A and B are shown apart, each in its own frame.
Chain A
Amino acid sequence: EAGVAQSPRYKIIEKRQSVAFWCNPISGHATLYWYQQILGQGPKLLIQFQNNGVVDDSQLPKDRFSAERLKGVDSTLKIQPAKLEDSAVYLCASSPGAGMEAFFGQGTRLTVV
């Protein structure tokens, strides 16, 4: 069974630029999460989708971050404009259902300079 795919693996951008991350979850998984993991910290939930609807985006900085999950499958997370403090690893995970075990991709390491 294929796992969660994320791209790119690494990205370096200047502050105020925009960036997008892509995630392809495990086939059939209804729940998709985006987490932000700052160095030395645990993953922080940014947004959660159930199929193609948002069920939790309470910690998403909506003035600069946006996410979508078209057709309930792939998802993209965008940052525009980026700030230095956005430097982190962005992890995508999918789950058969909300609250069930989540399966993670390898993450995208973002460096904002």
Chain B
Amino acid sequence: AQSVTQPDIHITVSEGASLELRCNYSYGATPYLFWYVQSPGQGLQLLLKYFSGDTLVQGIKGFEAEFKRSQSSFNLRKPSVHWSDAAEYFCAVALFYNQGGKLIFGQGTELSVKP
């Protein structure tokens, strides 16, 4: 079955440290891939997306993600985390079928940032 897996439920990093959030997908073809961030009480905000081309994509707020076809992964990275990055992060995959496409989401990774 097509799915999105975020192996880490909760991650804590120190402010200024680097960050990597993992995302794996199960899908027959090369999917469209997304990372979203959700702050408490808010909707989801798009950080970045991958459709095709360069496998390293840049997003907002200093985030980047790398698509690795061989590993079916799309991991999110940031070189230096700020306290304001504490939030829930969701990986999403666009699945395409006869009538179009839809977005399905992983379970999310909660990021805590310690001073």
Residues of chain A at the chain B interface (Cβ within 8 Å): 4, 31, 33, 35, 40-45, 48, 50, 55-56, 91, 93, 95, 97-107, 109
Expressed in whole angstroms, the minimum distance between the Cβ of B96 and any Cβ of chain A is 6
Residue among B32, B43, B101, B102 having the largest count of chain A Cβ atoms under 10 Å: B43
What 5 pairs across the A-B complex have the smallest Cβ distances?
Answer: A99-B101, A98-B100, A104-B43, A99-B94, A42-B105
CB of B10 to closest CB in A, whole Å: 10
Bound CA–CA A95/B36 (angstroms): 14
Determine if A45 and B104 form an interchain contact, defined as CB atoms under 8 angstroms apart: yes
A-B pair count, CB < 8 Å, reads 72
From A42, A48, A107, A109, give the contact of B102 (CB < 8 A).
Answer: A48
How far is B43's CA from A107's CA once the two chains are assembled, in angstroms? 6
Spot the interface stretch: B44-52, B61-69, B75-83. Answer: B44-52
Chain A residues whose C-beta falls within 8 Å of the C-beta of B46 in the assembled complex: 101-103
Q: How far is the CA of A74 from the CA of B29 in the complex (A)?
A: 33
Q: Which residue, of B34, B41, B102, has the highest number of chain A Cβ atoms within 10 A?
A: B102
Residues of chain B from 82 to 115 with CB closer than 8 A to chain A in the complex: 90, 94-96, 99-108
**B42 CB–A CB distance under 8 Å:** yes
Of the residues A56, A98, A99, A104, contact of B45 by C-beta under 8 Å: A104
Given A91-B43, A99-B32, A99-B96, does the pair A42, B107 have CB atoms closer than 8 Å? yes
Closest-CB distance, B51 to chain A (whole angstroms): 9
CB under 8 Å from chain A, chain B span 11-47? 32, 34, 36, 41-46
Residue of B nearest to A109 (CB): B41
Assuming A48-B102, A101-B49, A103-B46, is B107 touching A41 (CB within 8 A)? yes
User: A98, B102: Cβ atoms under 8 Å?
Assistant: yes
| Contact assessment for B43 and A106 in the assembled complex, using a CB-CB cutoff below 8 Å | yes
Known contacts A99-B32, A101-B34, A101-B49: A55-B104 contact under CB 8 Å? no
Contacts A4-B43, A104-B45: A99 and B107 contacting too (C-beta < 8 A)? no
Q: By CB atoms of chain A within 10 A, which of B41, B45, B103 has the most? A: B103
